[in-house]
Structure 1
Amino acid sequence: MAAPHTYSLVATDLDGTLLRGDDTLSDRSRTALARAAAGGAQHLVVTGRPAPRVRPLLEDLGNKGLAVCGQGAQVYDAGADRLLFSVTLDRELAETAIGKIEAEVGQVYAAVDQDGVDGLTLIEPGYLMPHPTLPAVRVERRDDLWCEPISKVLLRHHALSDDELATVARGAVGSLATVTMSGPGTVELQPCGVTKATGLALAAGFLGLSPSGTIAFGDMPNDIPMFEWAAHGVAMANAHPELKSVADEITTSNEDDGIAVVLERLFPAGGSQYAL
């Protein structure tokens, strides 16, 4: 039998992973996270959502610690309500990247997440928000998307699937930006080299924690770098096939408290952690 493995860091994606489809967190998941905390593990949200869209959830959880936002472009300190780290996507690079993609597939519809703890999500005409519960401001022209520094661009196409658009975008964009697919209707461009893994590594460094003590949960291809960085990667039953193919374990779906299922095993009530 393998030696017991103590996890000091629980890294979780939000949409399709920790949150249910209605953007809520179940009581079971709350209890499991509290049990992990009592067992000495810190919970770190690692999400594609920008800091302003994560703040309400962290407040609801009573989480005053760090969160990795914007696909790794931001490390947010909830207690101080400030960014410890942020990197922006250059406007000219973003426009050039979109132009190269449109040269291959025709018109795409774009949105951006502005940088900063109070940054807005702006959407151009024709863009439909994949998460209608998240606030967004519609602008009149694409040029209006660039009125403030941005952390990433979100893209949609009227006919191509997310997988198809992401594949074309990677080939067209090259080293101009990192292309990720983080959920239904969510293909994104972010600063080159920035991933959930780079943000997670930075946040873990702030906390004095390491990959060997990290268990990560996710559901989409943008979680692959995080799984490669962490000691153990757990994909949800509803996860994209690409993530399942590299996962160390597959749990139940986000609707069936998949994170709680694993944490209850690792952090049994009244007991100590034990090996997977």
Structure 2
Amino acid sequence: MVYPRLIALDMDGTLLDGESKVPEDFWPLLKRAEELGVVIAPASGRQLATLQDQFGDDLSYIAENGTAIAHQGKIIDVSVLPDDAVYRILDALQSVTVEHDVVLCTPTVGYVSEDANPDTFTQLEKYYYSRESVAELRSMVEGSDIIKVAIYCAAGSEEFIAPVIFEAIPDHNVAVSGQAWVDIMPAGANKGAALHHMAEKLGISIEETAAFGDYLNDFELLQEAGTAVAMDNAHPKLKEIADLIAPSNLDHGVITVLTEWFDKMQAEVETQRANR
């Protein structure tokens, strides 16, 4: 295989363990990647501010399912939903009787209704480090540069939310991001497109990229990557397009695969040095 120079890592269900924490064995691998000239880019539906709080400002990031791209502390690209699309989403959700809450995501802050369910706020603490409670979401749409609309439904996002949103917003990108989440991004915006854009910015060919993922919002990411890695716990549709199946996130599959790759890359480097 072509060893990657840019590796995109999904978070929940992929890199993070069962407690939504970064495995301790990842941090030495991050240092090894830097020494080998490999760029590690967390690629998540999570907010950029949340990812930067987890990993620091110096990494490259694909945040908000590809609608915000950052490199070394600077946002280098965003994709914005038209205001009318956001209004259509909010209008369509009025017909949903199952309990749910909405987050309007800008590049720097997530807006949520101050009347949201307490369980929603518990979830937001994990995913939206920078957030603001507001009295009326509709009042925040105009002029806010909404890059993503996230909908939380504990009863099941794929069953209760996705069908309504697919019908209301056929012209934009709707992704089932987890059992309880649906994300809506601008047409053409997804993790895969963001990976391609980041690779171009860094002067890396797409063949020299790799991506790890577990759920449907990672589908385009794995499609685009030079080497597609699905976790053992991944959605069946991701496994169908994967080049490699890694052990599950609970078994630290990302750590296992990266260690194997980096060991082989280091061995090649040492062989080249010895032959000079």
TM-score tier, shorter chain, comes to: 0.7 to 0.9
Q: 1:54 aligns with which of 39, 47, 51?
A: 51
Amino acid of the residue matched to residue 252 of structure 1?
P
Instruction: Tell me the alpha carbon deviations over residues 184-239 of structure 1, each in whole angstroms, 9 at most, x when there is no partner.
Output: 32201111111111111111101001221111101110111011111211112222
Alignment of 1:4-23 (within 5 A): 4-23=1-20
Alignment of 1:182-221 (within 5 A): 182-221=177-216
Q: Secondary structure at the match of 1:10?
A: strand
Mapped to 2, the partners of 1:149 and 1:247 lie a distance apart of: 34
Instruction: State the match for 2:69 in structure 1.
Output: 75
**Is the 8 Å Cα contact of residues 179 and 188 (structure 1) preserved in structure 2?**
yes
Instruction: State the match for 2:170 in structure 1.
Output: 174
Instruction: Tell me the alpha carbon deviations over residues 69-120 of structure 1, each in whole angstroms, 9 at most, x when there is no partner.
Output: 1211111123xx32111122122211113323544x44753111122xxx22
**Is the 8 Å Cα contact of residues 152 and 180 (structure 2) preserved in structure 1?**
yes
**Is the 8 Å Cα contact of residues 122 and 139 (structure 1) preserved in structure 2?**
yes
Percent identity between matched residues is 25
Instruction: State the match for 1:126 in structure 2.
Output: 116
Amino acid of the residue matched to residue 210 of structure 2?
I
The change in CA–CA distance for 1:131 and 1:254 in structure 2 (over 3 A counts) is farther
Instruction: State the match for 1:152 in structure 2.
Output: 148
Alignment RMSD:
2.3
Q: 2:42 aligns with which of 45, 62, 68?
A: 45
- Higher mean C-alpha deviation, range 68-77 or range 244-253: 244-253
State the Cα distance separating 1:131 from its structure 2 match: 4.6
User: How many residues are treated as equivalent by the alignment?
Assistant: 259
Mapped to 2, the partners of 1:168 and 1:243 lie a distance apart of: 24
Instruction: Tell me the alpha carbon deviations over residues 34-75 of structure 1, each in whole angstroms, 9 at most, x when there is no partner.
Output: 33333332212222222222211231xxx6242111211111
- Higher mean C-alpha deviation, range 216-225 or range 229-238: 229-238
Mapped to 2, the partners of 1:144 and 1:22 lie a distance apart of: 36
**Is the 8 Å Cα contact of residues 111 and 145 (structure 1) preserved in structure 2?**
no
Instruction: State the match for 1:259 in structure 2.
Output: 254
Instruction: Give the alignment's TM-score, normalised by structure 2.
Output: 0.84
Q: Secondary structure at the match of 2:188?
A: coil
